[in-house]
Amino acid sequence: MPRIIVEVMPKPEILDPQGKAIASALPHLGFTDFSAVRQGKRFELTVEGEVTEQVLASARTAAAEMLSNPVIEDVISVRVDDEGAA
């Protein structure tokens, strides 16, 4: 069944304490190549049937109104998952 992938990230200007904690833990485990980490969310919306433009529009609305909080988060992408559709 096809899926729509929605990705949500904390706004760049908003401090991400979880990402920060991960970033500071990485060097302890020997991962020294990364200077910053930000942690976001990925939603997989399973669709019964075809992903029409209308379904996609509905996903965008859900992403903007419920899956994210515009005060602290941005919706990065709303797209059809090609692999999931196989």
What is the x/- site pattern for another protein, positions 22-41, by CB under 8 A? -xxx----------------
The Cβ of residue 67 has, within 10 Å, a number of other Cβ atoms equal to 19
Judge residue 10's burial from the number of C-beta atoms within 10 Å of its C-beta, 0-12 exposed, 13-18 middle, 19 or more buried: buried
Q: Does 67 bind another protein (CB under 8 A)?
A: yes
Q: Is 78 in the site for another protein (CB under 8 A)?
A: no
Among 14, 36, 57, 85, which residue sits at the site for another protein (rule: CB under 8 A)? Answer: 14
Q: How far is CA 18 from the centre of its chain?
A: 15
- CA–CA distance, 67 with 65 (Å, rounded to integer): 6
Of 15 and 86, the one with the shorter C-beta distance to another protein is 15
Q: Which residue in the set 30, 49, 54, 66 belongs to the binding site for another protein (CB under 8 A)?
A: 66
Does 64 sit near another protein (CB under 8 A)?
A: no
